[in-house]
Structure 1
Amino acid sequence: MILTIIGTVILIVCLHLSVSTFLLRVNGRVKYSVLFCAMCYLIWTLAYMFLYNEKDPEDALFWYRIASLGFLAVPGAIMLVFASLSEDERRVKYSVLLPFFAAFVSVLYYSSWTGKFCISGFVTGSFGFVEKIDISSPWLILYLIYFVMSISFGLFLYYGSISRSTNFFQKQHSRSITIVTLILVLLSLVSVLLFGKGTVSRLPFLEQITGMSWLIIIWLTYIRSQKGLPSASILSNQVIDIIDDMLFVVNHYNNIVLVNPAALKLLGYGKKELIGKEVSILFEEDTARKVRSIHDLLEILSPGSGKIQIKAKNGSILDTTFSVTARSEKFGEISWIVLVFNDIRELLKIEQDEKSKINQLRMAYADLENTQLASLNIMEDLNMKSIELETAYNHLKETQDRLLQTEKMAVIGKLAGGIAHEINNPMTVILGYSQSVMKRIKEEDTLYKPLKAIEREALRSKRLIDDLLTYSRTEKTVQEEIDVNQAVESSLTLINALSKVKNIEIVKELAADLPLIRANKNQLQQVIINLTNNALDAILERKETGTISIRTFRDKEFVNITVVDDGAGMDNEIRKKIFEPFYTTKEVGKGTGLGLSLCYEIIKKHNGEILVESEVGKGSKFTVKLPIGGSSEKSGKSE
């Protein structure tokens, strides 16, 4: 009999330890730990329902022992709830202490199933049988130590995470959680010390009702707090801090929960002055009065991008362009939004100065026209001025568009680099473990194909991450004197086999006696391969066969490379966006949208230009212009 009881206790303890380890190390989600705690309270409550209705002390003792399966596990379950609210890293770090808590449970279970634990008997109350607690029992002291240690350790894990959080709402909700926990502890101690002595008439299910109420309040408080918090990917300080634009994260309640250093610097606020405040603080009075909710904010900032004025701390007005991204929950309710403002005051000042100069020229032209000079030479001169004026204006617009494009790509480049660094390490772990497990099993194993799929997708993700890192690097390119024709020939060696399979002809027209240029040969080959691959895809999108023409020639102080295809071509809207990172017209899974943006960055680092001409249905022409430099030697004649 004793061996059976001991074996049962050991089995229960092992189960308790296994569940705890799963919740802490494997999953750690709040809903699972709350469910485990609720199950402990349920076992406790159901057993006491039978205990209160018993008349035989022996039967009552049996149900008391069943109830102990629940109430002895409750302190540990409460600890797991707090642990699941804490950081993953901190939770896993301290999970090594689980065996010590399991040891307490083991000893207490042994006492409960081999004796009477900390009760001295049963008495009949107004509502049935109830246990009488022995205040002097050493088992009671041991249980109270276990109870206090478990809840204290849980609070230690929880507050260790909250203390490092910069989020106003997490800290605010932590106070509510602490208050209800202290009430739970206080009522539990009162129940044991006062009711155990018989000084107060005991209420049925007091501890269970108190505990379940605590659990419900914890769950509702947690759900409410999550509505005000964006996901971890957005909260990455390493990514946010490198963005030069002003960035704000606004929660479901229209409050600012995150702001980057660039915004604090430009607006003149301290972080504590903005966190927790309504987002209307950023706008002028007329606009601020309209921003009563997050939905009003989205309506004002519709269609998601444009120009708007925002207000600094000192009252000054900043002209900005904005972009807004909203995140919705499962049932369509908006959880939070990200606002990005770009200060365009300098751009507007430059534009105003240029417009002023243009107006002066127009006025001068009007004055000359009003004099009605008859001289033909003067009229020709005025016509020339008019042409120069129009050319200057068009050049100004082109320069502004390039400046905006460059700033936009710089911001995305920094953001892409930060995200790639964040993802690279976990992706390496996924790839390493999948390959390690594959080496230990046979191909016939049912796990082999899923692991092979994990390895394949992890490698594809790694290649995308490498492209992101290549795109975001700003270090100086190592260059040497190279022959452009040789770079083209080497690149086409890799493409020829694919073009023959696709039934596409590649025609070369490589100029002889081209001067050498200073460039990184590998990067230049990457540009040529990317442009040729895009030409192949453009042709196959329209028809089954076609021709790609690749030409090199000298144009003043530049060596030019052109890649021409007779494929599908592009309209003006697509042509304006093709060098933007992640922009692609290909089907999902067939393109990352980084190929042309990488070409743009590589040629830019070589102080060159990449131009595109295209017409829908007639094909596209990409021109790479590289400045001549280095040795004055000539390249050999191409075949």
Structure 2
Amino acid sequence: MTNKVEMIDLLTGVKSSKKSYYTELKKTVLELQKKNMQLEIINEVTKSFNIDTDMGVMLQNILLKLNQIFLIDRLYVATLERDELILTHVYPENELTLPRLTYFPNGNSLFRTVLEIKEPIIKTLEDSEVPFFEQSSLKQLGAQTMILYPLVCKGRVIGVFSLESKHQTNYQQEDYAFFQQLTDQLATCIENARLYNSVLNGKKQWEETFRSVSSMIFVIHHKETISLINDAVKQFFNLEEQVIYQHTFHQLVEIDSQISPLTEAFQTRQVTTKQIKIRNRICEIICYPSFNEGNELTEVIVYINDVTEKLQIEAQLIHSGKLAAIGEMAAGVAHELNNPLTAVLGNSQLLLRTTSKEKTEYQLLQDIHQCGIRCKHIIRSLLTFSRQDEYVFQECSLNKAVEQVLHLIRYQIEKQNIKLNLHLDETLPTINGSLQQIEQIAINLLLNAKQAFEEDDFSAKTILVETYEDIYNDRESVCLSISDNGTGMEKSIIQDIFNPFFTTKKAIKGSGLGLSVSLGIAKSHGGTIEVISELGKGSKFILILPKKGGESLYEVQTSNTNNR
């Protein structure tokens, strides 16, 4: 009976059909698994490749999955950098593989050939008769087959992707199609990462440039919100970045929004500029409106430059020009006056010798001679003061500077019925500096004191000039104090008097340079100038300089007080 059933199976082919069915089913399952693995590999590349992914890790993951369906032993990626093809990644890498950053030469390189012909190459090493650049390394690795594909993105070749195998395998057409698909996906991801890195590097360079600009830069949105600042802002205001962002722009710079160039820029949609004072520094503010594609004003870029030193330098240059003009004029005056003055002095001396002291003419001659000597001193002092020689620092006396200046302007002061009180410390230590420049400070301060009486009538006009020793900031110093009982100044004005070109005088009487230049000279000598003033009671200016051999004092300090 059993033999009969077997005979029927043989005659009908039932048994062979079952065997063929299971074989085909197994083959189909394997192909489906292969397809699924290929899709998984492509998905792996697409999903996990980004700017932070290490290419070596990526190749490792791809190779692990490839080994489940293909006999692949090593993967290579070479990229084109400035017309040079460079091996950037190999996995797995050892001492026998081509080292990373290898440059593939023109003419005899598999990688370079693929790049140039823009077509895949399947190379069996045993069949190779013509030597090529990579041959020695591949033989040492025991490679039998190299499959190379150009990495193409948007029609442009950006590199070469290669698969190495120690076996000679006959791949199917669909396998090569998968390798091509894998290469195309890698090319897209590599190019995207490269573009992203390029943008990222450009952004970093812009941010570094933005932060390193020495002038202050703000990005201001509507409602004065500060959205971005550079490092110069933090340094100027001496505040942490987060603290600055808690303020509006006008709160931070402490200016009225009604007179702010930022408000004007938002209203007019045009570039605005203004010079204002921020934390006792003169600053130039320029506001640049920024628009989107719809021509809507989105933000204003505020550029602030501290121009205090620049204005002081300009003031000193203008002042130096004036001194040069005075010097030329003084030289001409001295030349014209010296000859007749010599005759006056010589003849008066001859007459004095021949005239008896008892005669009334003798006193007249004596007055002529003394006035001639006074004129000679005035001309000499004027020449010394206005001389434009290079200033040389040397040991000099503050008292001598005061005496020289008084030769020039004592008469002007006393002519206005101003009482001049002089208290000079005869034991005053010397300083290291330029006598001519110290004289400039003294004459500026004395002229300011004299002009303090010109606005109103005063019954008792007094200018007190003192020199003395003092301790300033724990440093030994010498001081020149010039005080008056004139009009004095308001507190708001005191903050501005050292600014270049700031003046409360009429245009014909003041240029606003005297105090600015004086402060600059004091700083160059390591000193400073202090101010004490009260409206209606007078002012006191104190020049403070380190004594000879002493350390420099700190920056300018202005103050006011109600105590005189």
TM-score (structure 2 length as normaliser): 0.34
Q: Which has the higher helix share?
A: 1
Q: Which has the higher strand share?
A: 2
Q: Which has the larger radius of gyration?
A: 2
